[in-house]
């Protein structure tokens, strides 16, 4: 199976892209809903959780791990790559490469506090597009708004204006959605930043990378099961999560509750 994890719902934006680009490959997902958000936790804690999440997925048959969480990609990718025996893919580098290829001079990055504080986008962008200005903005209220199902509420629009107006004033050319929860807020974000700004959602590029990896590794491709039965595990299964997950991916997805302890 392709193992994908996030702190909650956000990684489902990556799962949707796997269904589009790699149809027929089985997915096992873990959303750490009981311990979310990850975005305001320390590197030590996020690394510990991310390792447990990945090991859980491996115990369920994952042969490759996709860290479908920018915070865990920013803070824990190195540790996962060192400690796990399966290949690991993260979401930051594909986003940076896509933004660099888009060619804008002023690139806004929105993400959790953990991602923004890590400085990972600035350092990777310095290598990929040395002349670009990176303008980061933490949006800590976005994740709870998504998990609450408030993506279209007027309150969300006014919070988005607060976070995004400073970026608009700096006349950004593109905006990286540097948290996998944010694609759920795309209509609101688009409304606030206007039609001129290119929105960069890392899911597409991340899965393209996964597809290339599978294509280049016959051993990996042979080990991945072709099935339309996917499994979605969460550490706390609430009605809210089930409703949003089914709305995003369809009614037939199988949800399970599990405890990592």
Residue ranges in contact with ligand DGL by CB under 6 A: 6-7, 10, 36-39, 69-71, 112, 115, 143, 179-181
d(CA 117, CA 90): 18
Q: How far is the CB of 71 from ligand DGL (least distance, A)?
A: 4
- Of the candidates 84, 28, 10, the one whose C-alpha atom is nearest the C-alpha of residue 51 is 84
Closer to ligand DGL at the Cβ: 37 or 104? 37
Which residues does the annotation mark as catalytic? 69, 179
Residue closer to ligand DGL (CB basis): 97 or 201: 201
Please state the closest distance from residue 119 (CB atom) to ligand DGL, in A.
15
**CA angle, residues 135, 13, 96, in degrees to nearest 5:** 30
State which residue has the least CB distance to ligand DGL. Answer: 39
Q: Is 24 exposed, middle or buried (0-12, 13-18, 19+ CB in 10 A)?
A: exposed
Residue 107: exposed, middle, or buried by beta-carbon count in 10 A (0-12, 13-18, 19+)?
Answer: buried
Place of tokens 């393209």: 208
Neighbouring C-beta atoms of residue 119, cutoff 10 Å: 12
- Nearest-approach distance from CB 70 to ligand DGL, in angstroms: 4
Q: Nearest approach, Cβ of 120 to ligand DGL (angstroms)? A: 11
**H or E element in which residue 257 lies:** strand 254-257
Give the single-character DSSP code of 184.
G
Contact criterion met (CB below 8 Å) for 76 and 47:
yes
Q: How many helices (H) and strands (E) does the chain have?
A: 12, 10
Cα distance between residue 111 and residue 91, in whole Å: 12
Looking at beta carbons only, is 68 or 224 nearer to ligand DGL?
68
Peptide bond into 173 cis (omega under 30): no
Q: Shortest Cβ distance from residue 144 to ligand DGL (Å)?
A: 9
Instruction: Return the number of the residue (64 or 179) whose C-beta is nearest ligand DGL.
Output: 179
**Nearer to ligand DGL by C-beta: 14 or 28?**
14
């Amino acid at each position: 199976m392709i193992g994908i994890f996030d702190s909650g719902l956000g990684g489902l934006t990556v799962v949707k892209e796997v269904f589009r680009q790699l149809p027929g490959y089985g997915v096992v997902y873990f959303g750490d809903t009981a311990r979310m958000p990850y975005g305001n936790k320390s590197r030590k804690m996020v690394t510990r959780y991310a390792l447990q999440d990945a090991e859980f997925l491996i115990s369920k048959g994952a042969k490759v791990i996709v860290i479908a969480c920018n915070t865990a990609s920013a803070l824990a990718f190195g540790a996962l790559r060192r400690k796990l025996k399966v290949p690991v893919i993260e979401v930051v580098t594909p986003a940076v490469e896509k933004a660099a290829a888009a060619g804008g001079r002023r690139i806004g990055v929105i993400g959790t506090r953990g991602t923004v504080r890590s400085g990972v986008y600035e350092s990777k962008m310095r290598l990929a597009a040395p002349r670009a200005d990176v303008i980061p903005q933490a949006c800590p209220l976005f994740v709870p708004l998504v998990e609450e199902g408030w993506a279209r509420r007027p309150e969300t629009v006014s919070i988005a204006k607060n976070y995004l107006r400073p970026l608009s004033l700096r006349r950004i050319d593109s905006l990286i959605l540097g948290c996998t929860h944010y694609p759920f807020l795309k209509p609101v974000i688009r409304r606030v930043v206007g039609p001129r700004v290119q929105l960069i959602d890392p899911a597409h590029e991340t899965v393209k990378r996964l597809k290339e990896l599978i294509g280049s590794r016959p051993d990996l491709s042979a080990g991945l099961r072709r099935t339309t039965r996917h499994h979605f595990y969460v550490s706390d299964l609430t009605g809210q999560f089930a409703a949003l997950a089914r709305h995003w991916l369809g009614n037939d997805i199988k949800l399970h509750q599990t405890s990592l302890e």
